[in-house]
Each structure stands twice: as structure tokens, then as C-alpha cells.
Structure 1
Amino acid sequence: MKRFPDNFLWGSATAPHQVEGGNANSDCWALEQARPSMFQEPSGDCVDQWNRFSDDIAILAALGLNTYRFGIEWARIEPQPGQYSQAALDHYQRCIDACLRVGVAPMLSFHHFTSPAWITRLGGLNDADYPERFGRYCAHAAARLDGFDWACTFNELNVPVLVEPMFNEKLRTPEAAPVLAAAEAALGGPLANFFLTTPRDVLLTQGLSAHAAGRDAIKSVRPSVQVGLTLSIQDEQAEPGGEVHRDRRLEKYVDPFLDAVRGDDFIGVQTYTRYISRADGGYGPAPDERVTTMGFADRPQALAQVCRRVWERTKTPIIVTENGWAGDQDKRREQFIAEALDHLHGVIGEGADIRGYYYWTLLDNYEWLSGYSQKFGLLGVDRATQRRLIKPSALTLGQIARDNGLSPASPMRRAESLTERAPSAARPTGVGAPLGMA
């Protein structure tokens, strides 16, 4: 048995806009409704976790996971400047309480890509007052929510730099002019006001200032809470002659952000793939390399490589706040999880301080511009009925979590056995559902 450290966090993660449904006060909702829209489809009811949170957390606990990373939605908590919704805060307190009742530690994300529409109309991160506004929101929410020991300020503060080429390709062409015009009309301002299209220089100034303001605000009212920032960091490698391009990518996308949060309580590492920089300046998977339905190189080893580099550079505790595999072949998802954890165990053995692993994601959900086409979840969802369907990969990760380690052959557990352990509230949503999803 390859054992992980005592008190290791074994969990799964979601984002509120991707699972709750009806996030109508947010900027992302406005963009989805624009016509024509850059989004494949609107989020709508999503997978209705707003109403089904207790059921979902009961399933997660029955699987054997001991923590859940979920977001609180700023657009719900502060729908207008300085006007806070006690009803929204009461809802998120009930979510925390649902976790605690079944022995699951909640990790809260205070910002996961979406913002109140009014913030975006004012300029988003481009507005000089944004860090103060974000800190005020974090302080208000943290003071009124109790029972959480872990918090993330921003999810993937650096991701707008990574997705900039995609947005440029989609929206900066003459054919896309109507889409861009509709988006900016929906936002009530330039597209650069939306978090995912924030310019790099703004992220490195206003963004990092907002993280610091949020971190300090949370800790001012909850001093014992461990607060970090999550970053999208992929394994950057190079073919011969491509090293200079790899180093430029690291300097552009990763290293300034890492250096800025060195010394925080933890760094949230979010890794999905490996990129190989070529001598001609291009990058991507290796020739003939297997890819996921997202187009990512199917490379479970990438996580360990990234954690090794982050630890060497920062000597700051690491939590893997996201790692996952997209596709319909759940057998490969099982293998991916086990392989990624096997390599991660090796890096821990080298001395890296890695304190947890959260699989992305708990539920097949709304994958932003791609709509509902991408399947990352441990649980499938029949969106006609919202019934949850437990995949074999969920059982595999749950077994690893219960063992706190990797055995040479982890036995598969039938979903029916979970119904005997799960609280009754979980049963209507699909515990014990058919597993024919591989």
C-alpha cells in the first residue's frame, strides 16, 4: 500500500455557476443570453445543486471522500452594490452545515470566474476600486459563514492569460463582429471587463491586489482559516529547440503569479495536461499522443511534474484543487486518477508538502463556452430528471480515499453497496444507479 500523509484531504470540486442553476444576477448569465452568443448554450437550471446540495454531499460522503470544494456566488450574495442577501448567505451556511453533518470538510471558493453584473459594468478588475470591493465582499461573507477551515480567494487568477488566444481566435475576426457586439451589449461595457478576458497586466496588478485584499479580509474575521489562491498550471515541456518558447510561456502564464503568492497558507494547483513547446514556436500535445475530448494531452503524469516544480520554486504548501479527465470512457477516467495519484505519491515521497487532492469535478456540469458537451464528472446527471448516476471512477477514488493510499489492486465496489451506507436523503438522486457509463 502506498499511503498518503495523515489528514490528507480527499475531495472533489465544483463551481457555483456550473452546478447551481439560475445565476441570473451574474455577468456570465448575461453573456449566455446574448444573441448571437459566444456560449454554445445557456446554463439554465444547470444540475440544480442549489436545491440538491444535501443529496450531493451525502453521495460524496458515502463514496468515502472527506472534503468538498464548492463556491459561494458573489452575484447572489451582493446582487447590488452594498446590498447583501441574507437569504443567499443562509443558503450557503446550510451547505456548510450539510457537509459538517456527514464529516466532510468544506473548502469555499469566493470567486470562480463569475461576478455580479454590476461589478462588470463598472469595469471588473480594470476598475481601481475592485480590490477594495472584493475585500469587502469577502469580509462580509466570511463573518457570516461559520464552520469552514479552508478558503480560496480566486479560482485560477492566471487563466485569462491562458485563454486569451482562444478568445482572440473566436472573437477578433470580422465574422465574429456580431457576437462581440452582442456580448458587450449584454455586459454593458467592453468584453475585457469580464473576468475570463481580463488583460494580463491587470491580473498582475489589480488581480493580485484583490487576492491579497480578500485573503486579509477572510483572515481578519476567521484567523484560523487557511487561505490560498488557485492557479491553472500545466506541465510545460519542450522538444529540442523549443526550450526558449517553453520558458517564455512559463514567464508569461505562471511564474509571476507563483512568486506573488509564495508564503500564503497554500497554493492551489490545477493541472489537466502537458504542453510541448516546439522549435517553431507552436505548442500542444506530442504527435500521435492520446487526447481527451477537451483536446488535452491525456497525461496523468503532468500533475506530479507541476507539483514538483511549484514546490521547488515556492516551498509553499500545495493542495491539488483540481485535476481531472474529460470524456465518456469512464474506465480511462479510473486509470487516469490512479496514475495521477501514483505519480503524486512519488513527489510527496521526495519531500514536497502536498496536503490534498480534489478531483474535478463531482458532477457532469456546465463547461462554460462548451455548454454541457464535456463530461468530467464522477457522477453523471440525467438532465431531464436531474438524477445522479454514480460512475465506477467515483467508487475507485472513494476507495483510495478510505484507504488513504493506493493498493496494487483496489477492488471495484458495486454502487448498490453505497445505498446501505448513504443517508436516505441521497437515495432519490441516484445512489445505486446503473454503472454502465464506461
Structure 2
Amino acid sequence: MSMEYKFPEGFWWGSATSATQIEGAANEGGKGENIWDHWFQTEPNRFFENVGPETTSDFYHWYKTDIQLMKEIGHNSFRMSISWSRLIPGGRGEVNQEAVSFYNRVIDELIANDIEPFVNLFHFDMPLALQKEGGWENREVTDAFEVYAQEAFRLFGDRVKKWFTFNEPIVPVEGGYLYDFHYPNVVDGKRAAQVAYHTMIAHAKAVRAFRKSQAKDGTVGIILNLTPSYPRSQHPADLKAARIADLFFNRSFLDPAVLGYYPQELAELLREHGQLPETKQSDKALLESGKVDMLGVNYYQPRRVKAKEHMPNLHGPFMPDWFFDNYEMPGRKMNPYRGWEIYEKGMYDIMMNLKKNYHNIPSFISENGMGVQDEARFAVDGEIQDDYRIDFIQEHLKWLHQAIEEGCNAKGYHLWTFMDNWSWMNAYKNRYGFLSVDLDTQERTMKKSAHWFSVVSKNNGF
């Protein structure tokens, strides 16, 4: 069979997950509470069908089966996260030996099956004890994160060589401090800016710890959800709206992580509106030393914007949306289940931007995927015929391939996600996995896309 799209030798084929979304065993194995356990106890009504993080997909008990299945569908790499509150239940203090043994077993099992573990330290799951101290608003929590990172590198760095500090660090800022969709549900622009800033300080401290650790012969990176901002038109007001959206949602983390400093324009914008975070003199050097070796890129949908139709309410909370309106492009292709636009070329545009403006940093697609509700209706003889997911992946891969042909430094593609998992507030409403999970029996069943992917992975292309 002729390969129209052949990927570079050693390309990473796999998928991504996070601890809180798959492990379950929320009250087992000595795990401490995190903000998700707490929020679900206090406001279960805010979670789809009142399903919380207690059991999820029970990877804690099923990991051997799951890793076997990963191997079967051609994974050579897999991203997971460590639950900070499982490893260090109070956020600081004693390391939990049961957690060490669990993560050791998972890492060893992956390696035994020729699957390289990519390990991320923080995926939205702040230990509750530290959130009570103010979470990322509190600079002292960045020191606790550095110690947690040190422990993780010490315990697992002999085998794990691909490390990431944060996944989508903008999301806890947007969700927890601006738009009220994550705990602690604060709506306050200045506190949001402080959280974003301290997240990058925590990141830089973890990178510093990495450079001194036994994992240092590996690579350390960060995973950012980069969402290209497309203007409605070439009118200067639309172009400015797109530039400011890009500053807030992409460059606020991309520039410090890859270049080692913040965009001047972002600082000026925040200063002008009295929203600048508190900083220290020594931070400049710290951020400079926190530059990453590698970038994970999560891409789901584009952001389309236009100039404001109306003046913002200046008496309301400061919001990025003071500077742009979202724009619904006529004729756009939609995923009707998730309400998200599908725009495959966005992946190419991100890669070209990294090549042009970010030293063509080594990168990979760390998440991309399609959530669909009530997927069981597409089952034939017990197998979900998710041709829509195959098309989705294939069309994105074509654009990724194009970017590689044009010299972009893209090293892999990970689907979100391996098996259906619990999504923050949506629980199991939308299914994303290669494998479907029966929530009553926890049984895993391959979807059509899993079989398709195993062939792509084996042939390193399609």
C-alpha cells in the first residue's frame, strides 16, 4: 500500500491523559484531597449528571490491561500526569509510599511494553491544603511545587526522560479566576494575572530543579493549548482584536516558556488597566532560566475574533473580552456535539508560527481530539464506528505533515485520549477515547479508530 503521508523516523504515536481524569481511587492508596474532590463534595450539581472524580476510569486498578491495549494499538509513547495530592497528600511534607509504588509500577509497565512515558507534573489538580493557602495566588505555593518537582525527578527521573511542568496553564486562570468554570470560582482580573504569573514562576523553579536532577539528561517542557486567533477581516480594528486575544490566551505563557520573557505589549496593557501582578526583581533571571527544551501543543479549535461591537462595562470585572468579541464565521465546519469549530489548518498555522517566531523549538501535538455525546448509538456488533474521529485525526495529520515538509520541528501526535475519561465539569458527557469505557463494568472496548490508528502507527503514516 502506498504511503501518501509518511512521517519522520521515530515519530511519537500515542495518546494523553491526566491523573484526576483516569486514575479514580480518589480516596484510596493514601491520596490527599485535591480541589476537584472538594468541589464535587460541595457542589455536585455543577458536574454533568452529578458524576464526580472518585472512580473515573479506574486506571489505578486497570493500568496493566490498559497498557497492554496501548501496545496493541501501536503506542510508542503515552502522556500521563502525576497527582500531586497522591504523591504528597498535603501538598508539602511526607511523600506517600503507596503512590510511589503505584507510579513506579505504571512507568515500569509502560517501558516493558516499549511505550515511552511522558510525565506531566500539574494538570489542574491543586492539593486542597495548598488551595486553602491561596493556591497559585500565594507565592509560597511555588516553592512547594519546586519541592514536589524535585521529588518526582528523584523518584522517577532514572526512567522517565520526557517531563512537563504544566498542562494548559491558562485554563486554571480562565476557569478559576475569570470565567467561573473551575474551583475556586473567583472572578477577578488582577488575581487572575497573579495566578498566571506565579504559575510561570513555579514552572521556572521546577525547570531549575530539573537541571540539577538525575533526569537532567532528558528533556523538560510545558504543554500549552495554542489557539490561533483569526480576525474577521483585515480591518485594523479586527487585526488589533486578534492580536490582543493572542496576547492574553497564547503569548502570556508561550513567550515566557520559550523565549524567557513576557511580551511588552501585554505588560503595558495590564499596567494601563491596573491589573499588573506583584513581581520580584530577581524574577527576570529566574524566568530566563526557565526556558523549555520542548513544547507540547494542544489544539482543538481556532479562536475567531472581531472588534468590539459595544463598549465594555468598565464597572464590571476586568476581562480579556474588553478588547475583542468572538466571531462566528459563516459556513464554518462544526463538531455538533461539543459546539466547537473544526479547522484542521489551525495546526499548520501554529507550527509555522513556532518555526518563525519561536526558534522552531522541538514540539509535538500533545492533544487533539473530538468529543462526541451518546457514542453508543454508533455501535455495530459492539464496536463504535467512529469514522468521524478517524476523519478528524486524518485531516489534522495531513496539515501536520505539511508543516513538517516545510521544515517545522514537529516530533509526534498524541490523541486526547486513550480511553474515555472523566472531563472536569462534563464528567462522561462527551467521549474522546480510542477505547470506550463501560461505566458500570469498567470494561474497555476498542472503537474503529483504535484499529485504524494501530495501522497508521505501524506504517508511520497513511
Which residue matches 2:88? 78
Q: Deviations over 1:402-433 (max 9, x none)?
A: 11122xxxxxxxxxxxxxxxxxxxxxxxxxxx
Structure 1 gap segments, 5+ residues each: 172-182, 184-189, 407-438
Structure 1, 237-246 or 383-392: larger mean CA deviation: 237-246
Q: Secondary structure at the match of 2:430?
A: coil
Structure 2 Cα separation of the partners of residues 110 and 326 of structure 1: 25
Match runs of 1:40-51 below 5 Å: 40=48, 41=50, 42-51=52-61
Give yes or no for contact 1:362–1:378 (8 Å, CA) kept in 2.
yes
Structure 1, 94-103 or 145-154: larger mean CA deviation: 145-154
Structure 2 Cα separation of the partners of residues 384 and 256 of structure 1: 42
Q: Deviations over 1:90-109 (max 9, x none)?
A: 11010000101110000001
The one of 5, 26, 33 equivalent to 2:8 is 5
Q: Secondary structure at the match of 1:405?
A: coil
Q: Secondary structure at the match of 1:332?
A: helix
Q: Deviations over 1:161-219 (max 9, x none)?
A: 44479834x79xxxxxxxxxxx7xxxxxx5449xxx99442244211110111122133
Give yes or no for contact 1:285–1:296 (8 Å, CA) kept in 2.
no
Give yes or no for contact 1:267–1:319 (8 Å, CA) kept in 2.
yes
The one of 85, 89, 95 equivalent to 2:100 is 89
**AA matched with 1:54:** K
Give yes or no for contact 1:303–1:323 (8 Å, CA) kept in 2.
no
The one of 159, 167, 185 equivalent to 2:171 is 159
Match runs of 1:273-422 below 5 Å: 273-279=301-307, 280=309, 281-292=324-335, 293-315=337-359, 316-327=361-372, 328=375, 330-406=386-462
From the superposition, tell whether residues 156 and 14 of structure 1 become closer, same or farther in structure 2 (CA, over 3 Å): same
Give yes or no for contact 2:232–2:329 (8 Å, CA) kept in 1.
no
Match runs of 1:5-24 below 5 Å: 5-24=8-27
Structure 1, 24-33 or 105-114: larger mean CA deviation: 24-33
The one of 233, 243, 249 equivalent to 1:247 is 243
From the superposition, tell whether residues 272 and 361 of structure 1 become closer, same or farther in structure 2 (CA, over 3 Å): same
How far residue 333 of structure 1 moved from its aligned partner, in angstroms, is: 0.5
From the superposition, tell whether residues 290 and 151 of structure 1 become closer, same or farther in structure 2 (CA, over 3 Å): same
Give yes or no for contact 2:420–2:434 (8 Å, CA) kept in 1.
yes
Structure 1 Cα separation of the partners of residues 186 and 371 of structure 2: 28
For the pair 1:237 / 2:237, whether they are aligned, the reply is no
From the superposition, tell whether residues 203 and 319 of structure 1 become closer, same or farther in structure 2 (CA, over 3 Å): farther
Structure 2 Cα separation of the partners of residues 318 and 285 of structure 1: 30
Match runs of 1:125-204 below 5 Å: 125-145=136-156, 146-163=158-175, 167-168=179-180, 191-192=185-186, 199-204=191-196
Give yes or no for contact 1:66–1:103 (8 Å, CA) kept in 2.
yes
For the pair 1:116 / 2:108, whether they are aligned, the reply is no
For the pair 1:226 / 2:219, whether they are aligned, the reply is yes
Which residue matches 1:416? none
Structure 2 Cα separation of the partners of residues 256 and 167 of structure 1: 17
Structure 1 Cα separation of the partners of residues 128 and 178 of structure 2: 23
Give yes or no for contact 1:107–1:151 (8 Å, CA) kept in 2.
yes
Which residue matches 1:26? 34
TM-score (norm 1): 0.83
Structure 2 Cα separation of the partners of residues 129 and 347 of structure 1: 41
Structure 2 Cα separation of the partners of residues 215 and 274 of structure 1: 30
Give yes or no for contact 1:311–1:317 (8 Å, CA) kept in 2.
no
Q: Deviations over 1:59-118 (max 9, x none)?
A: 011111100101111010111231110110111010000101110000001111102111
**AA matched with 1:232:** N
**AA matched with 1:239:** R
Structure 2 Cα separation of the partners of residues 43 and 129 of structure 1: 27
Q: Deviations over 1:356-404 (max 9, x none)?
A: 1111011111111111101111111011110111011112222111111
**AA matched with 1:389:** T
From the superposition, tell whether residues 361 and 51 of structure 1 become closer, same or farther in structure 2 (CA, over 3 Å): same
How far residue 37 of structure 1 moved from its aligned partner, in angstroms, is: 4.0
From the superposition, tell whether residues 336 and 199 of structure 1 become closer, same or farther in structure 2 (CA, over 3 Å): farther
Which residue matches 1:415? none
Structure 2 gap segments, 5+ residues each: 28-32, 259-290, 310-323, 379-385
Which residue matches 2:280? none
Structure 2 Cα separation of the partners of residues 30 and 164 of structure 1: 14
Give yes or no for contact 2:221–2:295 (8 Å, CA) kept in 1.
yes
Structure 1, 301-310 or 60-69: larger mean CA deviation: 301-310
Structure 2 Cα separation of the partners of residues 10 and 309 of structure 1: 23
Q: Deviations over 1:267-302 (max 9, x none)?
A: 111100112113444215423433222211022222
- Two-structure CA RMSD over aligned residues (Å): 2.2
**AA matched with 1:90:** S
Percentage of matched positions with identical amino acids: 26
